[in-house]
Amino acid sequence: MSDAGELDALLHEDRRFPPPGVFTGQANCNDPEIYDRAAGDPEAYWSGWASELDWFEPWHTVLDWKPPHAKWFVGGKINVAHNCLDRHVEAGRGDRTALIWEGEPGDTRTFSYAELHREVSQFSNALRGLGVEKGDRVTIYLPMIPEAAVAMLACTRIGAIHSVVFGGFSPDSLADRNNDAESKVLITADGGWRRGSVVPLKANADVALEQSPTVTNVVVVARGGDLTDHTPVTMKEGRDHWYHDLMAESSSDCPAVQMDAEDTLFILYTSGTTGKPKGVVHTTGGYLTQTYATTKTVFDLKDDDVYWCTADVGWITGHSYIVYGPLANCAQVVMYEGAPDTPDRGRFWQLCEKYGVTIFYTAPTAIRAFMRWGEEWPGKADLSSLRLLGTVGEPINPEAWMWYHEVIGGERCPIVDTWWQTETGAIMISPLPGLTVTKPGTATRALPGIEAAIRDEAGNDTAAGYLAITTPWPSMLRTVWGDEERFKETYWSKWRNVYFPGDGAKVDEDGYLWILGRVDDVLNVAGHRIGTMEVESALVDHPSVVESAVVGKAHEIKGESIAAFVTLKEDIDGSDELMSELRNHVGMKIGAIAKPEMVVFTAELPKTRSGKIMRRLLRDIAEGRTIGDTTTLADPAVVKKLQAMHEGDEG
Ligand code: PRX
């Protein structure tokens, strides 16, 4: 969380940006009454959106709310792939561009809605051929290539539950997720390009597969489309199949399965406060309704828009705002495989110019990196096609907001700062670009049909405290896969029947919400959620380590970086080599995103008399701040030693 001084400054932000008149005039949502109307009858509001989708059978009840369990559109039958593809093809829009993909090396592929429909149907049949049935779990471990979207949609078409695992995760992380979900099939690729080199996904998957007994079939996409240009891989006879071989044998006739609105659509693992990530479960009808509606309202999506969200499909942003929300809206979606600085720091802006991107959605961490790289890079591209900008994943500092507004948006594009989570499934708090007067640094207010509040520990309204979502919403998580207790404990035990997202927040004089960051032991590193416990478990897994404590340290670009305090076995001395070995060990156990930036060796960790590690103190030390209250410490001398050591390091 930011410190008090910074907060006060934030809350006195007096720059205000009303939506430009020309924008409001054409906006999908420009009637301010929408908020009151939705609040007056949220079920009518959401069922209005749901009825814009194709249902095989209508629902009989909009909402069945037995806290903490919500069922939306009860009795309705629907299929997500049908709504993202068939519906548009049947409406005569098959020739319209669905996906415009560019690989990092500059290769491109595009799919019309008809082509994507064919590819997805064919792959659905291929999965069926491998024995995948409704309700089975399929892990998707792919780079950012069109087949990632195809695989997701193919699962939804036949009612299989996908679990997408970010391609940057390690074999151990992949195996944990395969095992927790008991996945039957894994879909991966030979490799994918990232910053000029190939990430060997199949090789990583092979290591994971040794510890994934439930996975009996593996599909391997040749990143280059065929075997003329692929990363060498080992194929295990009887288990591993090339995607293109399966496709060649599969028919493209695959009617979409009628799913119950409450059937599980996917599982997505996210970090929590224990060492074990939790499988967030989303269901079908409500999820599609809210991603569809928010894409249309928050991004003001129109037929002639070219929409680009820079997230990876391995995160919820990629699920909801690259694949499901935009395709349900028949959008023209740009998808890019690689890094923003390859071959140079202007890549994103060249892509915007090349494809005439009109709506651009990225993370504050990326914006801060662009700021540091300088205006010359966006300055080289024609960004006049842009008309709306979005951010997600972490609080955006007003300075970065202003830069985004001026340098990328040319002062004409509204910015939507969208707050939501893996668990919420879709955007919850955000400006509506045709209506909301924005202020740099605040996600403003809850969207129509959503009720957010700030509560204290006891559940009373307060101006500064915990963010709370007080009523059910269609795309809410339904449970944690295989762990109902954890679902109740994590989200529903703080207050009665009110959802606890785990964020701190404040409200200002305009009623705008300022999200301050996580209040639990979850870090937000470059917009990625990482549990401190996960990193700690990875560290103590190393033979030299006895104990560790991990905290977040403010970072100019990433928002937070990881600082690890490590106690070594008695006969082992801390050295620079060991430091990098530990960092790599975490990389190997979890993935490169979880590598600690700073490792401090310490003979002891500061603990209370009851044995609780005082993370607040460690954070103070990591950030070089004056140490707060140490009176509850079992041994106050530990902190002095640590501080002296850390200052020594910095010097
Ligand atoms: O702390 C909040 C932060 O990201 C967390 C959710 O992370 P994840 O489930 O990985 O989903 C990220 C993409 C939706 C939240 O608990 N967060 C997300 N968006 C914002 C944000 N913090 C401040 N402002 C935002 N716009």
Helix axis angle, 171-181 to 201-209, nearest 10° = 50
Reply yes or no on whether the pLDDT at 226 is more than 70: no
Smallest CA separation from ligand 1 atom 7, residue: 421
Establish whether residue 139 lines the binding site of ligand 1, counting it when its CB lies within 6 angstroms of any ligand atom: no
Residues 423, 426: Cα–Cα separation, whole Å: 8
Instruction: Report the residue among 490, 524, 593 best suited for mutation to probe ligand 1: largest number of ligand atoms under 8 A from its CB.
Output: 524
Ligand 1 nearest atom to the CA of residue 522, by list position: 1
**297 and 227 within one domain:** yes
Smallest CA separation from ligand 1 atom 15, residue: 421
C-alpha 23 – ligand 1 centre gap (Å)? 27
C-alpha 421 – ligand 1 centre gap (Å)? 5
Establish whether residue 524 lines the binding site of ligand 1, counting it when its CB lies within 6 angstroms of any ligand atom: yes
C-alpha 479 – ligand 1 centre gap (Å)? 19
- In sequence order, the 6+-apart residues with CB closer than 8 A to the CB of 90 are none
Smallest CA separation from ligand 1 atom 5, residue: 421
Burial (CB count <10 Å: 0-12, 13-18, 19+), residue 210:
exposed
Ligand 1 nearest atom to the CA of residue 501, by list position: 16
Establish whether residue 314 lines the binding site of ligand 1, counting it when its CB lies within 6 angstroms of any ligand atom: no
Residues 370, 366: Cα–Cα separation, whole Å: 6
Query: Taking a C-beta distance cutoff of 8 angstroms, is the pair 307, 99 a contact?
Result: no
Establish whether residue 443 lines the binding site of ligand 1, counting it when its CB lies within 6 angstroms of any ligand atom: yes
Residues 345, 576: Cα–Cα separation, whole Å: 31
**pLDDT tens-digit series, residues 557-571:** 999 999 999 999 999
Residues 151, 581: Cα–Cα separation, whole Å: 36
| Chain length of the chain | 651
Domain boundary among 484, 500, 530: 484
Decide if 7 is inside a domain: no
Smallest CA separation from ligand 1 atom 22, residue: 394
Which residue is associated with the tokens 């960004």?
Answer: 383
**285 and 227 within one domain:** yes
**590 and 480 within one domain:** no
Decide if 645 is inside a domain: yes
Reply yes or no on whether the pLDDT at 292 is more than 80: yes
Decide if 24 is inside a domain: no
Q: Which two tokens stand for residue 587?
A: 């990389």
Establish whether residue 101 lines the binding site of ligand 1, counting it when its CB lies within 6 angstroms of any ligand atom: no
Residues 445, 417: Cα–Cα separation, whole Å: 10
- Residue predicted with more confidence, 188 or 276: 188
Smallest CA separation from ligand 1 atom 11, residue: 421
- DSSP summary character for residue 525: E
- DSSP summary character for residue 412: T
Smallest CA separation from ligand 1 atom 14, residue: 421
Residues 320, 301: Cα–Cα separation, whole Å: 14
Q: Which two tokens stand for residue 96?
A: 């319209």
**87 and 215 within one domain:** yes
**398 and 528 within one domain:** no
Q: Mean pLDDT score of the chain, rounded to an integer?
A: 94
Q: What DSSP string runs through 291-303?
A: HHHHHHHHS---T
φ/ψ of 621, rounded to 5, equals -65, -45
- In sequence order, the 6+-apart residues with CB closer than 8 A to the CB of 322 are 149, 309, 311, 313, 333, 335
Instruction: Report the residue among 166, 269, 419 best suited for mutation to probe ligand 1: largest number of ligand atoms under 8 A from its CB.
Output: 419
- In sequence order, the 6+-apart residues with CB closer than 8 A to the CB of 182 are 137, 214
**317 and 187 within one domain:** yes
Establish whether residue 407 lines the binding site of ligand 1, counting it when its CB lies within 6 angstroms of any ligand atom: no
C-alpha 626 – ligand 1 centre gap (Å)? 29
Establish whether residue 284 lines the binding site of ligand 1, counting it when its CB lies within 6 angstroms of any ligand atom: no
Decide if 417 is inside a domain: yes
Reply yes or no on whether the pLDDT at 227 is more than 70: no
Establish whether residue 168 lines the binding site of ligand 1, counting it when its CB lies within 6 angstroms of any ligand atom: no
Residue 646 is part of which domain span?
522-650
Query: Taking a C-beta distance cutoff of 8 angstroms, is the pair 558, 610 a contact?
Result: no
**425 and 560 within one domain:** no
pLDDT for res 641: 79
C-alpha 522 – ligand 1 centre gap (Å)? 11
User: β-strand 264-270 against 278-283: which pairing, if any?
Assistant: antiparallel
pLDDT for res 639: 78
Decide if 369 is inside a domain: yes
The least confident of 308-317, 483-492, 522-531 is 522-531
Establish whether residue 536 lines the binding site of ligand 1, counting it when its CB lies within 6 angstroms of any ligand atom: no
Smallest CA separation from ligand 1 atom 4, residue: 393
**248 and 198 within one domain:** yes
Residues 548, 553: Cα–Cα separation, whole Å: 16
C-alpha 320 – ligand 1 centre gap (Å)? 14
Q: Which two tokens stand for residue 615?
A: 């993370």
**pLDDT tens-digit series, residues 82-135:** 999 999 999 999 999 999 999 999 999 999 999 999 999 999 999 999 999 999
C-alpha 444 – ligand 1 centre gap (Å)? 14
pTM above 0.85, yes or no: yes
The least confident of 6-10, 134-138, 286-290, 463-467 is 6-10
Helices (H), 250-375: 285-298, 316-318, 325-328, 347-355, 364-373
Establish whether residue 332 lines the binding site of ligand 1, counting it when its CB lies within 6 angstroms of any ligand atom: no
Residue 206 sits in a domain of what CATH number?
3.40.50.12780
Decide if 173 is inside a domain: yes
Please, which contacts does 554-558 make with residues 24 or more away whose CB atoms are closer than 8 Å? 554/623, 555/525, 555/597, 556/368, 556/372, 557/365, 557/368, 557/369, 557/372, 557/526, 558/365, 558/525, 558/526
Establish whether residue 309 lines the binding site of ligand 1, counting it when its CB lies within 6 angstroms of any ligand atom: no
The count of structural domains within the chain is 2
**428 and 537 within one domain:** no
Establish whether residue 518 lines the binding site of ligand 1, counting it when its CB lies within 6 angstroms of any ligand atom: yes
Instruction: Work out the average pLDDT over 36-46.
Output: 98
**555 and 480 within one domain:** no
Query: Taking a C-beta distance cutoff of 8 angstroms, is the pair 122, 245 a contact?
Result: no
E strands along 384-472, which residues? Answer: 388-392, 415-418, 452-455, 464-469
Smallest CA separation from ligand 1 atom 26, residue: 419
Helices then strands, counting H and E runs in the chain, come out as 23, 30
Residues 183, 137: Cα–Cα separation, whole Å: 5
Instruction: Report the residue among 291, 361, 394 best suited for mutation to probe ligand 1: largest number of ligand atoms under 8 A from its CB.
Output: 394
pLDDT for res 583: 97
Q: Is 392 helix (H, G, I), strand (E, B) or coil?
A: strand
Residues 218, 187: Cα–Cα separation, whole Å: 6
Residue 32's CB: how many other CB atoms inside 10 A? 12
The least confident of 115-129, 375-389, 447-461, 514-528 is 514-528
Decide if 509 is inside a domain: no
Beta bridge partners, 580, equal: none
Q: Which two tokens stand for residue 360?
A: 């651009």
Which residue is associated with the tokens 């029947």?
Answer: 497
Query: Taking a C-beta distance cutoff of 8 angstroms, is the pair 93, 85 a contact?
Result: no
Decide if 507 is inside a domain: no
**357 and 229 within one domain:** yes
Q: For residue 266, give the nearest of 156, 186, 106, 426 by alpha carbon.
A: 156
Residue 2's CB: how many other CB atoms inside 10 A? 16
pLDDT for res 406: 98
**279 and 185 within one domain:** yes
Residue 249's CB: how many other CB atoms inside 10 A? 11
**pLDDT tens-digit series, residues 228-237:** 667 789 999 9
Residue 590 sits in a domain of what CATH number?
3.30.300.30
**pLDDT tens-digit series, residues 405-428:** 999 999 999 999 999 999 999 999
Query: Taking a C-beta distance cutoff of 8 angstroms, is the pair 81, 95 a contact?
Result: no
Establish whether residue 475 lines the binding site of ligand 1, counting it when its CB lies within 6 angstroms of any ligand atom: no
**Confidence band for 10, pLDDT divided at 50, 70 and 90:** low
Question: Alpha carbon 251 to chain centroid distance?
Answer: 33
